[in-house]
Structure 1
Amino acid sequence: MSWWTTDETHDPARTSWVEGTDTHPDFPIQNLPLGLFAPAGQEARIGIAIGAMILDLRACVAAGLLEADIHRPCQSDSVNSLLGLASGHRRALRRRISALLSDPAYRDLVSPLLHRASDCTLHVPARIGDYTDFYVGIHHANNVGKQFRPDNPLLPNYKYVPIGYHGRASSICASGVPLRRPSGQSRTPDRDTPSFGPTARLDYELELGVWIGAGNALGAPIPIREAGDHIAGFCLLNDWSARDFQAWEYQPLGPFLAKNFHSTISPWIVTAEAMAPFRIAQPARPEGDPAPLPHLLDTADQNHGALALTLEAHLLTARMREEGLAAIRLSHGPATSMYWTVQQIVAHHASNGCNLNPGDLLGTGTISAPTRDGFGSLMELSVGGREPITLPNGETRSFVEDGDEIILRARAHADGFVAIGLGECRAMVMPAH
């Protein structure tokens, strides 16, 4: 089956006996994302989110509710083995779980295997072997490029190759883990030499995370027509950035300490199978832009490779918390603002024979819409700090301050289907050591 094919698990008429699930904004029964959770005082295990509850897959195995060929991956302490399954096996597991949670006949048997999510700790779901961050949000690339190269914001390679760099997997944290303001080297325009200290230009980046499923052997590229089969799921990603460090260090080898201190992800992997109804055509490139080279061009990918996702970034300051105010939305925009599809970045990553493995994570780079209300970073919203934004309570922000909390959200919509979400991706900034 194709990665955009729907089945009975996507039926909008399907409901769950789990209370409150059918109206849950992120995790109705049509979603069923994978994650790693720990009930209070217990070890972490794999679960599936259903409304405000989590279904324990290890307990499902012990209760004899799952097929034998799925037992070992479901009892692991990470989701890597599940991600590495062929899509047909993941689809079979999805169908079985959907049946267990929709058919009232299973209520008495399955209810004891559910945990309230608010009582559990959510972890990074996979052992991330490698992390690569791309730069496929063309409006973000244009906005940032104009601040440094007003007459030539995009470098010549941008429209021919998905730009990316290898990031740091060890500092990727689950939503809710506080971020410590990093220290590093920077140089202000009025000085000839750099200084060392806490970043003064901390920023967030609104990104989509792409989880790799079945990998490829070293030296064996992934053809673009098969790239979708290697994508296991999606999450939200905030690739925190120290813009002052970045400006000083990124030449000639690119980001280093400006990026590797902390990245936040939403803890649930919304599977490629769950996203099938929300696959849409990749927007046509502007007239005059080059067509992708043949190894990145596939008709099916152009017809089904984009995602009908709306992404949002919110800010909650320390003062807003003290005053009992809700977070404000800084921006919102569509994932179709990506110049390259996620299949193209996977195919490109492996085009030289680089081996990808189950649980590897790719970031799309900051996704910004064409207009200011959709800019995906404070670097853009404040024009590099030159035009601070004013919040409804009178505070201003050029960059993220201590005590601020950034909250990312995303929902997928399509006519005739139930909307699903990716869950929250949030972290609060703590002062530097």
Structure 2
Amino acid sequence: MPIELNATHDPQRRSFLPSANDEATDFPIQNLPFGVFDDGKGSRGGVALGDQVIDLAALVEANALSGTAAQVAAIASRPSLADLFEVPTADLSALRAALSDLYAEGSSQRDAAQTALIPAASVTMKLPAKPAAFTDFCTSADHILRMAQFGGRAPQPAWATLPVAYNGRASSIAVSGTPVIRPMGQVVPFGESQMTFSPEPMLDFEVEFGAWLRGPGNALGESISMARADELLFGCCLVNDWSARAIQFYEMILGPHLGKSFLTTISPWIVTMEALAPFRIAGRGRSDEEPEVPAYLNDPFDREAGGLNIELSAEIDTGSGPQRIVRTNVAELFWTLAQMVVHQASGGAPLETADLIATGTVSGAADEARACLVEITELGKKPLELADGTTRVMLEDGDTLAIRGRAMAEGYVPIGFGECSGTIMAARPNT
């Protein structure tokens, strides 16, 4: 069912906090995403607003909120947001509405609201919650078809009839800013035929989009309908599923393993599905040459509003400043988030509170929408030329890669997700 728009989406609403009214901010008053921060006094939950963090615990202590909003704020102020993922949608909406009123221009409780603001630059962001599990899908037709072309083979036909995925490593999910340590592994160096255990020579990024799931999910052996899937989406984040390509290519018999398990970076703020409601668009249709969507993944609402208009970009900084090298959109994906949720549970695998799913590389048809270096360089055949004269085939030690996202719709205030970034560090040989 669609989320009804309300006063929190009003494009005319402004905050008394000037930075929240800046056209460039990711966090206007229409966003109000949840995260976990540490200001030196311990980790706790907060909400981003402009260049500040709203300390929810301080609001509760000051009795600035009441009723359901105060109860949910107390839950959201804990060191993990996992319990917040269990809160009913209507109750979460009540908290967002109360915060929107509290920090709006003309707020009757401005003094109390201001005392709970902490400069975002002074805090360290933490993982919002420990994921119960992590599934990384591969839902871009353009990415799948290009990768098959580069490999000189036809793609497996399953990509067009189901959202392909692998079960990732939840323990290596880390928040933006975590160093990317080049992994060690078994590889066959380019031009050679013998395996060697060495630092990964083909370290790549992948511009992805993710969703945190609310609970409760489904019991073992049961499935989830498309009608219910959207209700299980709590909110979204940016994802970089770093890829050790040489390790991945050598080990790919059963599927990705160590080539993907060394680190997956996510943005620290979770943008709720309510905040994203104005940016819903129709899911990708199917051409006459493409298979029809299977019945269990087909739903009228999903066809009408299963997609999201969110522009994603990636910048690389090799030491001379950031340069944008990717511009793509979540709207390009072949499958929707709800379809991913339903397919994950279709065989009876239980979905749990704080499960994290990712879309896979969000590549589009345009050259600028090639969302990883394998695609950009065509598997190393065409090195990426940067403005400072340097080139890249794959990421080198010292490089920083940052992903950003921007949800947009005519007549509404754009909202963002914060940064999802990491800097490549030298490998640590095993002892």
**TM-score, with length taken from structure 1:** 0.95
Can you list the C-alpha shifts for 1:244-286, whole angstroms capped at 9, x where unaligned? Answer: 00110011x1011101101111100001010000000113212
SS of the residue aligned with 2:235? strand
Aligned residue for 1:323? none
1:310–1:410 Cα contact (<8 Å) kept? yes
> Residues 216-269 of structure 1, C-alpha deviation per residue, up to 9 Å, x if partnerless?
132331101111000000000000001000110011x10111011011111000
Count residues with an aligned counterpart. 422
Q: Does 1:128 align with 2:131?
A: yes
1:226 aligns with 2:228: yes
3-state SS of 2:211 partner: strand
Shift of 1:72: 4.7
Shift of 1:75: 3.6
Q: Residues 107-165 of structure 1, C-alpha deviation per residue, up to 9 Å, x if partnerless? A: 10111111100000001101211000000011111111111134x2x211111111001
For residue 158 of structure 1, give the secondary structure of its aligned residue in structure 2.
Answer: helix
Equivalent residues in 2 for 1:27-426, closer than 5 Å: 27-39=27-39, 41-64=40-63, 65-67=65-67, 69-70=71-72, 72-102=74-104, 103-150=106-153, 152=154, 154-188=155-189, 190-218=191-219, 219-251=221-253, 253-318=254-319, 320=320, 326-426=321-421
Change (3 A) 1:52 1:72: closer
The C-alpha deviation readout for 1:355-394, integer Å capped at 9, x for no partner, is 1122111010000110211100000001111210110110
Query: Aligned-residue CA RMSD in angstroms?
Result: 1.3
TM-score, normalisation: structure 2: 0.95
Name the counterpart of 1:12.
11
CA-CA distance at 1:66 after TM superposition: 3.8
Call closer, same or farther: CA 1:71–1:372 in 2, change over 3 Å. closer
Measured after TM superposition, the shift of residue 339 of structure 1 is 0.4
List alignment gaps of at least 5 residues for structure 2: none
Please report how far the alpha carbon of residue 106 of structure 1 lies from its aligned counterpart in structure 2 after TM superposition: 1.5
- 8 Å CA contact 1:4–1:279 kept in 2: the answer is no
Runs in 1 of length 4+ with deviation above 3 angstroms?
188-192
Q: Identity of aligned pairs, percent?
A: 37
- Residue 98 of structure 2 aligns to which amino acid in structure 1? R
Higher alpha-carbon deviation: 196-205 or 180-189:
180-189
Cα 1:140–1:240, aligned 2, differ >3 Å: closer, same or farther?
Answer: same
Q: Provide the secondary structure at the position in 1 that maps to 2:115.
A: helix
Cα contact 2:217–2:353 (8 A) shared by 1: no
Amino acid at match of 1:329: R
Q: How many Å apart are 1:14 and its aligned residue?
A: 0.6
The answer to whether the Cα contact below 8 Å between 2:101 and 2:107 also exists between their aligned partners in 1 is no
Q: How far off its partner does 1:191 sit?
A: 3.6
In structure 1, C-alpha distance between the alignment counterparts of 2:77 and 2:311, rounded to whole Å: 34
Paired AA for residue 285 in structure 2: A
